[in-house]
């Protein structure tokens, strides 16, 4: 041989240590707010338990098989001058054994799998809280028919009560993913899909669309807030005050052309659907300017400003409580006044391709709009 | 052994061996077509690799603006499409072309001009698909092109048209090649080479051709339906017209899952050639290897909906597809154990091909195990569309197919080009690739389980994805270095005179019985086969190595004539589809002219004396 | 099968491993692949034919919201005639092949002409049917029945058309005496393809026209 072969042991060891380091780095799921490995709901726990079962078997198989591979690398290493090894062509007994053992291991995985499939496919009880989820390019609409409420990009759920999600899409396929409490389910324009879960821990977590849905798929996030039952009820009660007031019919501003018709069975409402705005107390002069601008700039064509009886199928997210949300633009920006002003002035720079056009809002106008929207808590 | 380098005088140009560009354009020699496939596919592989590096740079830090969202979406779409259709498949086709006739003792494939046609159609499709970059209109809806995002309403640009028509063209190339190799393997085996004596690479290639023949028509139909939706206003996948986007997913994955085996089975075959030779021991459990391959292919048609667990198919369908998917682990396990059984008790020769073959086994096991993890639908509902799945299929397609193909490249390089590759550079390539590969893809398991979805052009700060993504990006550059080392190795070998003996590795199969590189007619005399490992049998009979085979004149051996009509027909195929894409520009006349080119090519080809 | 050995076009010195001619095996392989092509198209038809949001429908009358009345659109008698002729053409091509193998140029040319005539009638019938449907208001864009009908029968019709072109080419050769018995395989391949196209129609005809 022209060159001594690099020794297997040392290099293998280095690799193994690297992998181990990575493994440890990855094994601290609490650093990952969107992790699937710390289930905080019953559905997610079923998925996680199943993963644990398969991982245990997988690690066992991995250690045994890779161990045997490494062993044979050392044990059967050829030396110069070795005579021809014994020419075996096979061994039926051994071959049967290594067909049957994997089959048994798979059976050990298959049984809990099938159980879990039926468990997760079961219909939740009638007393579950029904929430309707509609995926839009690129934001999430949430409706609570029980309370006649609509909101967007921030879903509130009560701890301890099963939530039954009835889901659809206004346009292309998306996938609603609740990694901490449930898992994911695709949403379609022509059929309803379902998912359920019961939150067992309170907290606020991020989630996001998991099916590629166009240019801003990466910016289709939402927040989920699991609240104690009484806190959830308080939130519902507050949201129910965000009702339309019989306002003097404002002239709809120059409405931006909505994106090409929504290819779904949903009714599309655009201009003037949100022409009435809710009553919000305690506003300064900026608020009044903002209120006018919201009409004049045509924002009202796509956004509703009240949560009760809100129209279905709006192009843009419902803004009834936008002032109180943690993020804006579907998980893209922290909800600060500065970010909101940036967003209103130039959404296309922040989220290229988003259906909200640049409306030529000046900085003072943006400040007024922020003041107006911030008051929508 | 390769150390026994025998410098030879450059062989005299034999009868019929022509040189020059025209000779390559009109060639019908399976070996030259194999080299054309290999070279083209390797260039596309580098292109796909560059696309991957750009993706990795973008994801190296959160909120990165290195790439615009449009560009990122184009890159991940083209990376997948390129690696699958323009790199791994044609790299396998390189070995089908070069090695199948040699391993079965034939002078050429059954239809040499059809073979040339396949290559030119493949080249046309690949160039067409990539020409979209020049117009800034690269496909941007993923290699899976899920409806209804691909409808004209949501993707009005030509991007999807490039993808759809490019894939259609590539499908024609694959189908033509599959018919050819199917007939070649069935009909052109040397006397005595019964089916159960065929080298395992031929067997796995044979199964691959069957999969191609049965899977590609389905994607052809799916692409036609999409084409009608986009060009002629039908509503097959458009919900507002009553259509169902899920139909696309079924059609796509009925093709798409067998496609996975189309990508991996040739690598299985290569590994099954390399391991016995470098273990100095026959393949363990030959029959089990054959039947497990057949079984994998058969089951491959019954598992497609495991790509669709998140669509909510209901518990019965979920359970069926979960169990059929898990079943595949059994024949796959049999293969892995038989490879290890081949090594067990052998006298392992650690040459570069053996490194890659063992690397293949080690990495493929991991891909298989993560595969079982998401065969379980409730667990998959968390894992699907996350980086966990990205990790899984890269362990299968990179750790599997690419490691296998690289093993094949080092193993057969001397036969194909008559030159030995450098062993130390080869081993350096291996270690860089193994470490780079694991650095790139191993962390993806964790980043995926910890909540990072796929196909996102960026991720926000604060989700914890930063560190692991940085490691992945570093790993991807190490992988790039690994392939640079390979290029250096190839370049060095190329500059040296031909130095490869006919049988540098003590091979078991017929390709090692003829000079390196083989003469145009392959075998001066068609060999007669008496068992498996035909060449080992011959050597055992002689009780020693065979003498270096001489180059002979080949006078009197009748070989097919070169022809340029396959090229014309290939241009015709592309023109027809282009005329449909630009129907509004050129009108029906364009279709007629394009069809005329195609008919001209086919007719001239049909009436041309084959030789 | 030594007789075909010298037909192997590339001067391969040994006969094929199975004794089957390469080209014949290739046609069979191609037909196997085509089965999946039509299976996918037929499945698409079955999935989509009932999903039309508006008429006209294949088997039921329909009144549009604007009050326009549509009869069931399929014209079964005409298509039955076309189907019968296509079936007969399979017999004719067998007779032509038998003529070719016996060296009877008259039988070959005559039966081949009959086969081609049937094929041309079938394609003509389809052209008539398609234009009729378009006049009645059923196009690719109208509804999913129309789309999947035109795509399925259109692809079949394209196959028939290619078959007719192939047979016409062979007919010209035959008329010039260029298909001697030793080259009857050239016709046999076209005949295999023709039978396949025929068999596919035997599936399509009941699926589209008879099953409601």
Token pair of B318 as six digits: 């979920």
* pLDDT exceeds cutoff 70 at B194: yes
Coil, strand or helix at B65: coil
pLDDT of residue B584: 82
- Partner B contacted by A62 (CB < 8 A): yes
Taking residues A41-50, report their average pLDDT.
95
Chain A: touching chains (3 or more CB pairs < 8 Å) = B
Taking residues C117-140, report their average pLDDT.
95
Mutation pick from B188, B198, B206, B239 vs chain C, by most beta carbons of C within 10 Å, is B188
pLDDT grade for A17, boundaries at 50, 70 and 90: low
Query: Quick check: B369 and A62 CB within 8 A?
Result: yes
pLDDT of residue A18: 63
Taking residues C76-93, report their average pLDDT.
95
* pLDDT exceeds cutoff 60 at C133: yes
What's the rounded Cα separation, in Å, for the pair A321 and B374? Answer: 39
Q: Which has the closest alpha carbon to B74: B152, B141, B150?
A: B141
pLDDT of residue B206: 98
pLDDT of residue A24: 60
Query: Quick check: C37 and B221 CB within 8 A?
Result: yes
Tens digit of each residue's pLDDT (9 = 90 or more) over B340-363:
999 999 999 999 999 999 999 999
The angle subtended at Cα B369 by Cα B367 and Cα B374, nearest 5°, is 95
Chain C: touching chains (3 or more CB pairs < 8 Å) = B
- DSSP class of residue C207 equals I
- Partner A contacted by B603 (CB < 8 A): no
- Partner B contacted by A190 (CB < 8 A): yes
Tens digit of each residue's pLDDT (9 = 90 or more) over B136-156:
999 999 999 999 999 999 999
Taking residues B7-19, report their average pLDDT.
51
Residue percentage of chain B with pLDDT more than 70: 97
Query: Quick check: B464 and A32 CB within 8 A?
Result: yes
pLDDT of residue A14: 63
Q: Which residues, listed in sequence order, are joined to residue A158 by a DSSP beta bridge?
A: A227
pLDDT of residue B536: 94
Taking residues B7-33, report their average pLDDT.
72
* Minimal C-alpha gap between A16 and chain B (Å): 10
* pLDDT exceeds cutoff 70 at C186: yes
Picking from B213, B235, B559, the nearest residue to C144 by CB comes out as: B235
* Minimal C-alpha gap between A46 and chain B (Å): 7
Contact residues for C131 (Cβ-Cβ < 8 A; gap 6+): none
Q: Which residue has the higher pLDDT, C75 or B15?
A: C75
Kindly report the average pLDDT of chain B as a whole number: 93
Task: Indicate the pTM of the whole model.
Answer: 0.92
pLDDT grade for A273, boundaries at 50, 70 and 90: very low
pLDDT of residue B608: 83
* pLDDT exceeds cutoff 50 at A258: no
Residue percentage of chain A with pLDDT more than 70: 82
Largest CA distance in chain C: 74
pLDDT of residue C208: 95
Token pair of A205 as six digits: 């977590």
pLDDT of residue B20: 85
Residues in chain C closer than 8 A to B216 (CB atoms)? 33
pLDDT grade for B7, boundaries at 50, 70 and 90: very low
In chain A, positions 225-264, which contact chain B (CB-CB < 8 Å)?
A: 260-261, 263-264
- Partner A contacted by B392 (CB < 8 A): no
Q: What is the DSSP string of A67-136?
A: HHHHHHHHHTB--TTPPPPP-----HHHHHHHHHHHHHHHHHHHHHHHHHHHHHHSPPPTTSEEEEEEEE
In chain B, positions 553-592, which contact chain C (CB-CB < 8 Å)?
A: 557-560
pLDDT grade for A254, boundaries at 50, 70 and 90: very low
Query: Quick check: B611 and C11 CB within 8 A?
Result: yes
- Partner C contacted by B400 (CB < 8 A): no
Tens digit of each residue's pLDDT (9 = 90 or more) over B39-74:
999 999 999 999 999 999 999 999 999 999 999 999
Query: Quick check: C32 and B213 CB within 8 A?
Result: yes
Picking from B108, B182, B190, the nearest residue to C29 by CB comes out as: B182
* Minimal C-alpha gap between B297 and chain C (Å): 16
Q: Which has the closest alpha carbon to B88: B208, B227, B254?
A: B208
Mutation pick from B62, B333, B453 vs chain A, by most beta carbons of A within 10 Å, is B453
Query: Quick check: A22 and B442 CB within 8 A?
Result: yes
- Partner A contacted by B150 (CB < 8 A): no
pLDDT of residue B560: 86
- Partner B contacted by A123 (CB < 8 A): no
Q: What is the DSSP string of B415-446?
A: HHHS-PPPHHHHHHHHHHHHHHHHHHHHHHHH
Mutation pick from B421, B451, B474 vs chain A, by most beta carbons of A within 10 Å, is B451
pLDDT of residue B13: 43
Q: Taking CA atoms, what residue in B is nearest to C42?
A: B221
pLDDT of residue B583: 84
Mutation pick from B65, B159, B317, B379 vs chain A, by most beta carbons of A within 10 Å, is B379
Tens digit of each residue's pLDDT (9 = 90 or more) over A136-173:
999 999 999 999 999 999 999 999 999 999 999 999 99
- Partner A contacted by B87 (CB < 8 A): no
What's the rounded Cα separation, in Å, for the pair A180 and A40? Answer: 5
Tens digit of each residue's pLDDT (9 = 90 or more) over A63-118:
999 999 999 999 999 988 888 899 999 999 999 999 999 999 999 999 999 999 99
What's the rounded Cα separation, in Å, for the pair B235 and B226? Answer: 9
Token pair of C162 as six digits: 């290619």
Tens digit of each residue's pLDDT (9 = 90 or more) over A279-299:
455 567 889 999 999 999 999
Mutation pick from B235, B255, B557, B595 vs chain C, by most beta carbons of C within 10 Å, is B235
In chain A, positions 125-164, which contact chain B (CB-CB < 8 Å)?
A: 137
Query: Quick check: B312 and A194 CB within 8 A?
Result: yes
SS (H, E, C) B140-206: CCCCCCCCCCCCCCCCCCCHHHHHHHHHHHHHHHHHHHHHHHHHHHHHCCCCCCCHHHCCHHHHHHH
Kindly report the average pLDDT of chain C as a whole number: 90
What angle separates helix C105-136 from helix C76-102, to the nearest 10 degrees?
Answer: 160
Residues in chain B closer than 8 A to C18 (CB atoms)? 186-187
| Cβ pair B330, A103 in contact under 8 A | yes
pLDDT of residue B432: 97
Picking from C17, C33, C140, the nearest residue to B187 by CB comes out as: C17
pLDDT of residue C9: 43
What's the rounded Cα separation, in Å, for the pair B239 and A138? Answer: 19
Tens digit of each residue's pLDDT (9 = 90 or more) over B482-529:
999 999 999 999 999 999 999 999 999 999 999 999 999 999 999 999
* Minimal C-alpha gap between C197 and chain B (Å): 16
Residues in chain A closer than 8 A to B246 (CB atoms)? 188, 191
pLDDT of residue B19: 78
* pLDDT exceeds cutoff 70 at A251: no
pLDDT of residue B109: 95
Cβ burial A269-307 (10 Å sphere, 16+ → b, else e) = bbbbbbbbbbebeeeeebbebbbbbbbbbbbbbbbbbbb
pLDDT of residue A283: 66
Query: Quick check: C17 and B221 CB within 8 A?
Result: no
Taking residues C203-211, report their average pLDDT.
94
pLDDT of residue A286: 86
pLDDT of residue B17: 60
* pLDDT exceeds cutoff 70 at C89: yes
């Amino acid at each position: 041989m022209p060159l001594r072969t690099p020794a297997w042991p040392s290099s293998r060891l280095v690799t193994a240590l690297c992998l181990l380091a990575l493994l440890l780095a990855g094994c601290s799921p609490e650093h990952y707010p969107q992790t699937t490995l710390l289930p905080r709901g019953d559905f997610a726990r079923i998925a996680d338990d199943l993963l644990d079962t398969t991982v245990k078997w997988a690690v066992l198989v991995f250690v045994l098989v890779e161990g045997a591979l490494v062993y044979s690398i050392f044990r059967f290493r050829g030396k110069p001058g070795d005579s021809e090894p014994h020419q075996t062509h096979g061994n039926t007994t051994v071959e049967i054994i290594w067909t049957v053992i994997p089959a048994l291991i798979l059976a050990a995985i298959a049984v809990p799998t099938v159980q879990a499939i039926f468990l997760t496919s079961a219909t939740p009880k009638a007393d579950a809280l029904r929430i309707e989820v509609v995926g839009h390019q690129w934001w999430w609409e949430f409706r609570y028919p029980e309370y006649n409420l609509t909101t967007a990009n921030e879903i509130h759920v009560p701890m301890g009560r099963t939530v039954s999600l009835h889901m659809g899409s206004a346009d292309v396929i998306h996938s609603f993913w609740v990694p901490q409490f449930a898992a994911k389910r695709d949403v379609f324009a022509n059929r309803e899909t379902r998912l359920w879960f019961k939150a067992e821990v309170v907290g606020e977590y991020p989630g996001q669309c998991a099916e590629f849905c166009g240019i801003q798929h990466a910016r289709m996030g939402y927040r989920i807030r699991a609240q104690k039952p009484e806190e959830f009820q308080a939130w519902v009660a507050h949201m129910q005050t965000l009702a339309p007031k019989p306002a003097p019919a404002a002239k709809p501003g120059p409405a931006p052309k909505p994106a090409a018709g929504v290819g779904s069975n949903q009714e599309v409402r655009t201009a003037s659907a949100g022409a009435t705005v809710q009553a919000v107390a305690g506003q300064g002069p900026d608020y009044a300017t903002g209120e006018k601008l919201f009409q004049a700039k045509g924002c009202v064509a796509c956004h509703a400003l009240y949560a009760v009886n809100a129209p279905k199928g709006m192009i843009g997210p419902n803004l009834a409580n936008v002032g109180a949300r943690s993020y804006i633009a579907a998980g893209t920006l922290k909800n600060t006044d500065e970010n909101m002003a940036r967003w209103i002035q130039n959404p296309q720079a922040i989220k290229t391709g988003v259906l909200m056009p640049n409306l030529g809002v000046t900085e003072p106008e943006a400040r007024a709009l922020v003041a107006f929207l911030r008051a929508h808590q | 052994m390769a150390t026994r380098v025998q410098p030879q005088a450059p062989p005299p140009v034999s009868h019929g061996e022509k040189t020059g560009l025209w000779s390559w354009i009109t060639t019908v020699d399976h070996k030259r077509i194999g080299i054309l496939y290999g070279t083209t596919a390797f260039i596309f592989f580098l292109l796909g690799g560059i696309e991957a590096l750009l993706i990795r740079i973008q994801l190296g830090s959160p909120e990165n603006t290195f790439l615009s969202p449009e560009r990122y979406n184009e890159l991940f779409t083209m990376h997948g499409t390129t690696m699958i259709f323009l790199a791994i498949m044609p790299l396998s086709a390189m070995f089908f072309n070069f090695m199948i006739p040699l391993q079965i003792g034939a002078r050429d494939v059954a239809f040499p001009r059809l073979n040339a046609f396949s290559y030119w159609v493949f080249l046309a499709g690949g160039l067409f698909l990539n020409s979209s970059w020049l117009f800034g209109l690269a496909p941007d809806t993923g290699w899976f092109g899920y409806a209804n995002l691909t409808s004209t309403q949501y993707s009005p640009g030509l991007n999807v048209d490039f993808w759809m028509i490019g894939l259609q063209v590539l499908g024609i190339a694959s189908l033509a090649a599959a018919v050819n190799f199917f007939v070649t393997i069935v009909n052109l085996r040397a006397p005595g080479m019964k089916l159960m004596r065929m080298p395992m690479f031929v067997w796995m290639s044979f199964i691959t051709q069957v999969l191609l023949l049965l899977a590609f028509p389905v994607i052809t139909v799916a692409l036609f339906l999409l084409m009608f939706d986009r060009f002629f206003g039908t509503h097959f996948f458009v919900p507002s017209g009553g259509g169902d986007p899920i139909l696309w997913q079924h059609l796509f994955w009925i093709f798409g899952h067998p496609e996975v085996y189309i990508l991996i089975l040739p690598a299985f075959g290569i590994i099954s050639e390399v391991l016995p030779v470098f273990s100095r021991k026959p393949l363990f459990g030959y029959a089990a290897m054959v039947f497990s391959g057949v079984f994998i292919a058969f089951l491959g048609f019954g598992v497609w909906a495991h790509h669709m667990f998140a669509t909510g198919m209901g518990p019965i369908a979920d359970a069926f597809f979960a169990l059929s998917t898990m079943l595949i682990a059994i024949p796959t396990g049999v293969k892995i154990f038989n490879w290890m059984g081949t090594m067990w008790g052998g006298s392992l020769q650690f040459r570069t091909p053996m490194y890659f073959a063992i690397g293949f086994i080690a990495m493929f096991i991991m891909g298989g195990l993560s595969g079982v993890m998401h065969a379980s639908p409730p667990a998959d509902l968390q894992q699907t569309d996350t980086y966990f799945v990205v990790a899984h299929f890269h362990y299968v397609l990179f750790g599997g197919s690419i490691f296998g193909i690289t093993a094949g490249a080092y193993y057969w390089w001397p036969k194909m080009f008559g030159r030995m590759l450098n062993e130390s550079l080869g081993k350096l390539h291996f270690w860089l690739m193994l470490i780079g590969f694991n650095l790139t893809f191993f962390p993806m398991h964790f980043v995926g389980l910890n909540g990072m979805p796929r196909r996102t052009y960026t991720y926000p700060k604060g989700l914890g994805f930063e560190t692991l993504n940085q490691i992945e990006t570093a790993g991807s550059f190490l992988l790039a270095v690994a392939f640079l080392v390979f290029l250096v190795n190839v370049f060095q070998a190329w500059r040296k005179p031909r130095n490869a003996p006919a049988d540098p590795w003590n091979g078991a199969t017929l390709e090692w019985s003829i000079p390196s590189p083989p003469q145009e007619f392959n075998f001066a005399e068609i060999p007669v086969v008496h068992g498996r490992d035909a060449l080992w049998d011959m050597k055992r009979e002689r009780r020693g190595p065979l003498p270096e085979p001489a180059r002979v004149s080949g006078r009197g051996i009748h070989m097919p004539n070169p022809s340029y009509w396959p090229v014309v027909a290939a241009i015709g195929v592309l023109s027809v589809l282009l005329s449909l894409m630009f129907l509004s520009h050129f009108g029906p006349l364009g279709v007629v002219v394009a069809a005329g080119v195609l008919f001209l090519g086919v007719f001239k080809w049909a009436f041309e004396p084959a030789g | 099968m030594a007789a075909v050995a010298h037909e192997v076009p590339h001067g391969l010195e040994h006969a094929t491993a199975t004794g089957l001619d390469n080209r014949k095996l290739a046609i069979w392989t191609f037909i196997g692949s085509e089965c999946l092509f039509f299976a996918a198209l037929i499945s698409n038809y079955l999935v989509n034919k009932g999903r039309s949001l508006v008429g006209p429908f294949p088997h039921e009358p329909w009144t549009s919201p604007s009050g326009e009345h549509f009869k069931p659109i399929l014209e079964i008698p005409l298509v039955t005639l076309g189907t019968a002729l296509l079936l007969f053409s399979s017999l004719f091509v067998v007779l032509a092949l038998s003529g070719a193998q016996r060296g009877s140029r008259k039988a070959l040319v005559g039966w081949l002409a009959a086969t081609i005539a049937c094929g041309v009638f079938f394609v003509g019938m389809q052209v008539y049917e398609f234009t009729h449907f378009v006049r009645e208001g059923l196009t690719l864009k109208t509804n999913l029945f129309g789309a999947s009908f035109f795509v399925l029968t259109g692809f079949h019709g394209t196959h028939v058309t290619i078959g007719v072109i192939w047979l016409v080419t062979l007919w010209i050769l035959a008329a010039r005496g260029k298909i001697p018995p030793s080259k009857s395989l050239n016709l046999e391949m076209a005949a295999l393809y023709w039978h396949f196209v025929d068999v596919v129609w035997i599936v399509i005809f009941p699926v589209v026209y008879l099953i409601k």
